[in-house]
Chains A and B, each alone.
Chain A
């Protein structure tokens, strides 16, 4: 009978989402503000930047390299018909800087670091470590959540810059030595069409928003997980799915706002 219950329960489900969103927003604001708490530890922040950022670096570099190479190939085959291969550098750089860099970084980050973050906070909750901190008058928001949120905000833009750079380099390696596009034209066309504030900085702003969004969703899913093994598992799945969809949705909004 579950299928018949679904439709009458639809309204309830949607209504239940509103207070959940409210709690999650409150969690975000308190978590970010906890940086000023005396339980906030800079050492924890560094550890998280290491765990979320540095350890994701290898994945990002490999992914960026292949993305750039594929862009080089596909762009070349599209442009060579019009004899416009001189625009290949611009094509590769703009696609990476504006869209693919921030979005792919955020999606990979959600899979690589977000899932681990949810599982970590979820198991802390399941093993009652968070309650233990409360008992010892240590604010778990300041000790556990704030360093992770801020680490996400710091790490994702840095990962995105590296992604952009490696991607452009991958595109160059395919375009110039393999496909025989003129190297000078490749860089010159890129330079004359890419602007620092309009393209590079807007892309990084996107990455910053995605970093906040992904770590927020991941931390919240862990914090709100059912304190059981199964609950942590499903929270981890939900964290990756929600974060990925949220990144794609927010990307559309940011693109519409930033690149008029």
Chain B
């Protein structure tokens, strides 16, 4: 094997490895989170975030338009304060609502946005005030049993 040919093949081999790693990182792994890195942030208070995690999707009409960047407890109100990053091209009205839903019965939780009709837009860093917490299945079953029991009397 000629010297130059070996060099070429080894170089290509290493490049192929690096290329494969980049594709793995962005396409298979979740390093592709920079998709919304230039987006603006919004926050929302929830009573209960359920199984919502950082990087959970934010959807509007079923389309992913952002992701959750931070979840913490507000020390004053004791509400869960969720910060999310939204696609910069999307301007949401100030009366937009946010709810936490579950994908299917056992799927992941995500934030669903319901745009309102006000002419003013939410400013970057703004807060969504109309929120609906995660549905707690245990609580729901408890309520059902309770209402059945009281209804039976």
Please report A residues at the B interface, Cβ cutoff 8 Å. 43, 46-47, 49-50, 53-54, 57, 84, 86, 93, 97, 155, 157-159, 161-162, 164-165, 168, 187, 190-192, 194-196, 199-200, 204
Q: Find residues 13-34 in chain B having any chain A CB closer than 8 Å to their own CB.
A: 13-14, 16-17, 20-21, 23-25, 27-32
Tell me the interface secondary structure of chain A in the complex: helix
Q: Find residues 86-132 in chain B having any chain A CB closer than 8 Å to their own CB.
A: 104, 106-108
User: Which listed residue, B17, B21, B30, B106, touches A194 by the CB 8 Å rule?
Assistant: B30
B108 touches A192 (CB 8 A): yes
Q: Is B10 an interface residue (CB 8 A)?
A: yes
Smallest beta-carbon distance A48→chain B, Å: 9
B29 touches A196 (CB 8 A): yes
27 residue pairs bridging A and B, Cβ less than 8 Å apart? A46-B6, A50-B1, A50-B6, A50-B10, A53-B13, A54-B9, A86-B107, A93-B28, A158-B13, A158-B14, A161-B20, A165-B23, A165-B24, A165-B28, A168-B28, A187-B27, A190-B28, A191-B32, A194-B28, A194-B30, A196-B25, A200-B21, A200-B24, A200-B25, A200-B28, A200-B29, A204-B21
A161 touches B31 (CB 8 A): no
Q: Which B residues are in CB contact (< 8 Å) with A191? A: 27-30, 32
Smallest beta-carbon distance A51→chain B, Å: 9
A207 to B153, CA, bound (A): 67
B17 touches A196 (CB 8 A): no
User: Which listed residue, B1, B12, B17, B30, touches A157 by the CB 8 Å rule?
Assistant: B17
A47 to B25, CA, bound (A): 29
> Which 8 residue pairs across A and B have the least CB separation, nearest first?
A158-B17, A196-B29, A161-B20, A165-B20, A196-B31, A54-B9, A194-B29, A54-B13
A162 touches B7 (CB 8 A): no
With A54-B9, A157-B17 as known contacts, state yes or no: A164 contacts B24, CB within 8 Å.
yes
Q: Which A residues are in CB contact (< 8 Å) with B10? A: 46, 49-50, 53-54
With A43-B3, A157-B17, A161-B20 as known contacts, state yes or no: A196 contacts B30, CB within 8 Å.
yes
A199 to B32, CA, bound (A): 15
Total number of residue pairs linking A and B with CB closer than 8 Å: 77
Q: Which A residues are in CB contact (< 8 Å) with B29? A: 191, 194-196, 199-200
> Which interface residue of B17, B27, B108 has the most chain A CB atoms within 10 A?
B17
A92: nearest chain-B partner, CB-CB: B28
A155 to B29, CA, bound (A): 22
Q: Find residues 25-59 in chain B having any chain A CB closer than 8 Å to their own CB.
A: 25, 27-32, 55
> Which interface residue of B1, B9, B21, B107 has the most chain A CB atoms within 10 A?
B21
Q: Which B residues are in CB contact (< 8 Å) with A158? A: 13-14, 16-17, 20
B15: nearest chain-A partner, CB-CB: A158
Smallest beta-carbon distance A127→chain B, Å: 22
A166: nearest chain-B partner, CB-CB: B20
B17: nearest chain-A partner, CB-CB: A158
With A195-B30, A196-B30 as known contacts, state yes or no: A161 contacts B17, CB within 8 Å.
yes
A194: nearest chain-B partner, CB-CB: B29
A56: nearest chain-B partner, CB-CB: B13
User: Which listed residue, B13, B30, B104, touches A57 by the CB 8 Å rule?
Assistant: B13
Q: Which A residues are in CB contact (< 8 Å) with B108? A: 192
A159 to B1, CA, bound (A): 21
> Which interface residue of A84, A157, A200, A204 has the most chain B CB atoms within 10 A?
A200
A161 to B24, CA, bound (A): 8
Known: A47-B6, A50-B10, A54-B13. 12 other contacts (CB 8 A): A46-B7, A49-B13, A54-B12, A93-B28, A97-B24, A97-B28, A158-B13, A159-B17, A165-B20, A195-B30, A196-B30, A199-B29
